[in-house]
Structure 1
Amino acid sequence: MRLRHIEVFHAIMLTGSVSAAARLLNVTQPAASRVLAHAELQLGFALFQRQRGRLVPTREAQILYPQVEQLFGQLDAVQRLAASLRESQREDELRILTVFALSLELLPRALGAFHAQYPQVRVSIDALHSPHIAAALVRQEADIGFVLTGAAHPALLPEHLADAAVLCVAPRGLLPAPVLQRGTVHLQELQGLALVQLAANDPVGTLVGHACRQADVQLQARYTVQTYHAALALAQHGQALALIDACTAASADRSRVDVLPLLPRIDVPVQALRPAQGPGSLLADAMARCMRQALAQALG
């Protein structure tokens, strides 16, 4: 099958008729019918049968269609990559990806400093989970990504920006007065208290789980969440305490929660990721510096 045959076949499968497929492809109905007939002639079997005025896919068409869908998905990926390569040549635009934990407090602070230096640069921002950020950077769909505990990837260049400690965020009145006066809380002191637990495959959740095993501590999870700000929100509504990174805790409402360093200390690395291939971006370099400064100010 030629690509034009596949386009018409795909359009008919999507729309259910030759006329609708022709409109989708912006061609005439006779032209679409000729392409379909030529495809069936080359294949040696029919792709559709007309039943009660409708086109019904044959068994052969139904077998072919999943592969055709996969092909169109790959074509879409090629188009996105071509668009990203075209955009990467612009010198007045910066494309940033970030994990949600850095999107509410740290990134806005860094962008303020960046905009002061480059007021004419347009910035696009997308908040994603770390694996999606890495995959998009490998496809060169962005200039820089900010992650927590980023995994090594041969196609990406990591840059360590800071270590954000895990903090205990507890509803007011939950922790005893001696703990609050001391200003730190030990993992052992959290046993028996309701906890908002991060998913086991989450980077911070993995670090906390490892620390609990090392200290032989079992925490009681009342909730399991996928995002750090969901954990913070539950703590601020008095539901349970949360163990979250200092970047997320920077946006905590201190009138509703107590925020204490956790012992033993658990560090969460904050990294900037950039594609290893292609020319370096001066704007991405500047953004990394601004994020490093914002982290230093916030984490103190």
Structure 2
Amino acid sequence: MQDKTPLTPRFSYKSDRLKPLRAFCQTVRLGSVSRAAEALFVSQPAITLQLQALEREMGVGLFERSGRRLTPTREGQLLYELAQPLVEGLDGLESVFKDKVAGLDAGELNIAANSSTILYLLPRIVEHFRAEHPDVRLTLHNAITADGTDLLRADAVDLAVGSMMDVPADLSYAPIYRFEPLLITPPDHPLATKTKLELADISRYGLILPPKRQITYRLVDLVFQQHRVPYTVALEVGGWEVIKQYVAMGMGVSIVSSICLTDADRGRLATRSLKEWFPSRSYGVIVRKGKYLSPQARAFVELIQPDLFTRRDYDDSGHSER
């Protein structure tokens, strides 16, 4: 007698669920089928077929087009958050296993950070890390935050240390330190001794600011725009040390974070708090959501703040939760 029980539709790709999920995660990360195909060393049609099969199985659309970029739908974002840790966990199983076996006696650690973070925040942390783990090859990649997050997404670095205003959905940011916003001027500048300092008072003088791509410039512009106070930029230049030198020479004033001021600046610069108008700047650890942190990376983060892993930003396995 013939069994007439309906058969569940079968998809050939189910024999290897990792391939379509890997194709899906890469497409979400890179925003393009062609880029996902290049990253996985397969053809574009193969990626397209895997994505179509995955959408049929899930019963929902997983992507929508935003300009020239593919972005996940609401359902696609949910699947990405579920699938990414699984894919990365399987893909990284061998290296993670070797790291666990080797411990911290060998290996390498790549960290992205901007010049101010490298110069003012990290020296003591790096010194302690090198003392405790001398066999780990540590590389600090000097990059502004925007470029540092690109390095994170490309797996060129293990983590980034810096400041963020807007946190992308695929990244986790754990702020650790906060620094006060300050106006810096030459000691004999009129603003240095003005009794009541207003935002409009600052706007009368040319500002010396970092390049527009950097957070400081964007933050200064945002605050002045919100208060509808016009301002002028006298000089745009990279590097806090250069900015401080030019301010000390009387070429303008600047708005900086207190992270960049040292004892050597006391005699040549006057400072005024601007916390009434500008928010404090946070600095912390940036990682990709779901990315496994190697023992080396975890050890470095613990030196930045020993109790960081007792918070909900990371779970016990080294994966970011948010």
Question: Matches of 1:87 and 1:168 in 2, distance apart?
Answer: 48
Partner of 1:123: 138
Give the match for residue 294 of structure 2.
281
Which residue number in structure 2 is paired with residue 198 of structure 1? 210
CA contact (8 A) 1:137 1:143 kept: yes
The alpha-carbon distance between structure 1 residues 144 and 260, as it changes in their structure 2 partners (threshold 3 A), is: same
The letter of the residue matching 2:266 is R
> In 1, are the aligned partners of 2:209 and 2:216 still within 8 Å (CA)?
no
Which residue is 2:181 aligned to?
166
**Is 1:222 equivalent to 2:237 in the alignment?**
no
Classify 1:105/1:185 alpha carbon distance in 2 versus 1 (closer, same or farther; 3 Å). Answer: farther
One-letter code of the match for 2:281?
Answer: V
Alpha-carbon separation, structure 1, partners of 2:122 and 2:169: 26
Aligned in 2, Cα 1:267/1:252: closer, same or farther, shift over 3 Å?
farther
Query: What are the Cα deviations for residues 119-139 of structure 1, in whole angstroms up to 9, with x where unaligned?
Result: 433211111122211111112
Q: Is the partner of 1:216 in helix, strand or coil?
A: coil
How far off is 1:87 after superposition? 8.5
> What do residues 218-277 of structure 1 show as CA deviations (whole Å, max 9, x unaligned)?
233211234444322321333111111222234762221112221324222223112334
TM-superposed CA distance for 1:207, in Å, is: 1.5
Query: CA-atom RMSD, angstroms?
Result: 3.2
Post-superposition offset of 1:99 = 1.1
Residue 97 of structure 1 contacts residue 126 of structure 1 at CA under 8 Å; is this kept in 2?
yes
Tell me if structure 1 keeps the 8 A contact 2:210–2:217.
yes
Task: Name segments (4+ residues, structure 1) moved above 4 Å.
Answer: 85-91
Whether the 8 Å CA contact 1:150–1:271 is kept in 2: the answer is no
8 Å Cα contact 1:130-1:150 kept in structure 2:
no
The alpha-carbon distance between structure 1 residues 189 and 275, as it changes in their structure 2 partners (threshold 3 A), is: same
Between the aligned partners of 2:301 and 2:175, the Cα distance in structure 1 is: 10
Larger Rg over CA atoms: 1
Over 3 Å counting, the alpha-carbon distance change for 1:275 and 1:215 in structure 2 is closer
Change (3 A) 1:153 1:252: farther
The residue number in structure 1 matching 2:253 is 241
1:146 to 161, 179, 183: 161
Q: Deviations over 1:138-166 (max 9, x none)?
A: 12111111122154234433212122222
- For 2:301 and 2:145, the matched residues in 1 are separated by 17
Spell out the pairing of 1:43-122 with structure 2 (5 A cutoff).
Answer: 91=104, 92=106, 93-122=108-137
Shift of 1:200: 3.8
Higher relative contact order (CA 8 A, sep 6+): 1
Task: Judging by fraction of residues, say which structure has more strand.
Answer: 1
Q: Supply the distance in 2 between the matched residues of 1:270 and 1:277 (Cα, whole angstroms).
A: 21
Following superposition, the deviation at residue 176 of structure 1 comes to 4.7
Which residue pairs with 1:256 in the alignment? 268
Percent identical pairs in the alignment equals: 17
2:304, 2:167 → 1: CA distance? Answer: 20
Report the Cα distance in structure 2 between the residues aligned to 1:177 and 1:98, rounded to whole angstroms: 32
Instruction: Please give the TM-score of this superposition, normalised by the length of structure 1.
Output: 0.60
Report the Cα offset of residue 292 of structure 1: 4.3
Matched residue type, 1:124: T
SS at the partner of 1:160? strand
* Aligned length in residues: 212
Residues 273 and 113 of structure 1, relative CA distance in 2, 3 Å threshold: same
Q: Which amino acid aligns with 2:284?
A: Q
Q: Is this contact kept in 2: 1:204–1:268, CA < 8 A?
A: no
Distance in structure 1 (CA, Å) of the matches to 2:173 and 2:261: 24
SS in 1 for 2:254: strand
C-alpha distance after superposition, 1:264-291 (max 9, x if no partner) = 2422222311233443223323322333
Q: Equivalent residue for 1:52?
A: none
Aligned match of 1:43: none
Give CA-to-partner distance per residue, 1:14-44, whole Å, 9 cap, x none.
Answer: xxxxxxxxxxxxxxxxxxxxxxxxxxxxxxx
Report the Cα distance in structure 1 between the residues aligned to 2:263 and 2:95, rounded to whole angstroms.
33
- What letter is aligned with 1:196? I
Partner of 1:80: none
